[in-house]
Amino acid sequence: MERGDAERYRLALFGRMVMGVAHEVHNHLSVVLGFSELIQLAAGNEGKVRDGAGKILSAGEKAGAILKNFARYVRPHPSAPEPFLPGDVIPEILLFARYDLSRNDVVVSVQQEIPKGILHADRRDFGLVFLALLFNGSEAMAGKGGELGIRASLDASGWEFTVTDLGPGIPAGLEEKVFEEGFTTRTEPVHAGMGLPVARHLVAQAGGTLHLSNRPGGGCAATVRLPPKPRA
């Protein structure tokens, strides 16, 4: 797989999420518009003016942050490892994915305390891996819904991230075939069979591994292991 394949998938994936981002921006901008009206009506009351202006500023900052993070992730770029806190990136990715996941009646349960350690990797590639795994798990639960779980741990050997779903699991004999480009068990046009191959490719670039396994109680677990330092 070439770097260009990952970039094409990135653009296709974020194009799919335009509706979700627009939904989030609309929510905050509706606050901006609503409190603008309030300020006009309550211009004679200084306390309400200050309060309304504060809410406008807060909502505007949130809308700006969403668009800024969106632009950061969607922009094509060469791989560039940097130190960052995974616990900062995961909420950003969930914000982008939330609307799309909700259409499959999927909710996400994140480990309460993500370790505070530093990960040395490409921040945007890390986010793209998580998006691919979240959407893969969501698609496995389409028509049924349920909970996607995100767990993280850190020890001397590095980081381990796990995304679990409540889908049917991996059919026998397809454990590695699911990582082949273009392979998919879904028939809808949006499912191009690129998510898992791209995710494994990006993880391997960072010197890590990605494996899928069936869970004893049902569903699938996608496990990403990354070294504490970037590969030389």
* Whether the Cβ atoms of residue 210 and residue 161 lie closer than 8 Å to each other: no
At 186 the pLDDT is: 58
What is d(CA 10, CA 187) in angstroms, rounded to the nearest whole number? Answer: 21
**Which among 198, 55, 25, 214 has a CA at the least distance from the CA of 125?**
198
Determine the pLDDT at residue 232. Answer: 57
Residue 191 pLDDT level (bands cut at 50, 70, 90): very low
Strand partners, 209: 225
Extents of the domains making up the chain:
16-73, 79-226
For residue range 146-156, what is the model confidence (pLDDT) as tens digits?
999 999 999 99
Q: Is 223 a residue whose pLDDT tops 90?
A: yes
Per-residue model confidence as pLDDT tens digits over 156-185? 999 999 999 999 988 887 777 777 765 565
Which of 129, 123, 38, 23 lies closest to 80 in space, CA to CA? 123
**What count of Cα atoms within 13 Å lies in the side-chain half-sphere of residue 66?**
22
| pLDDT, position 109 | 94
- Residue 222 structure tokens: 């996608």
Residues linked to residue 226 through DSSP beta bridges, in sequence order: 159
> In the prediction, which pLDDT does 193 show?
56
> What are the two backbone dihedrals, phi and then psi, of residue 222, each rounded to the nearest 5 degrees?
-100, 120
Provide the token pair at 78: 């060469």
- pTM, full prediction: 0.72
CA–CA gap between residue 68 and residue 72 (Å, rounded): 6
Residue 222 CA: distances (Å) to CA of 24, 41, 156, 161: 28, 53, 21, 8
Residues 183-191, mean pLDDT to the nearest whole number: 52
| Contact in structure between 106 and 141 (CB atoms under 8 Å) | yes
Please, which pLDDT band fits residue 119 given cuts at 50, 70 and 90?
Answer: very high
Q: What is the mean pLDDT of residues 101-125?
A: 91
* CATH numeric code, 79-226: 3.30.565.10
pLDDT at 142: 86
Q: Each residue of 50-63: pLDDT tens digit?
A: 788 788 878 877 88
Amino acid at 219: G
What tens digit of pLDDT does each residue of 64-82 get?
777 777 766 666 667 788 9
In terms of Cβ atoms closer than 10 Å to its own Cβ (0-12, 13-18, 19+), residue 123 is: buried
pLDDT classification of 189: cutoffs 50, 70, 90: very low
CB 117 within 8 A of CB 152: no
Cβ count within 10 A of residue 226: 25
- Distance, CA of 106 to CA of 116 (rounded, Å): 27
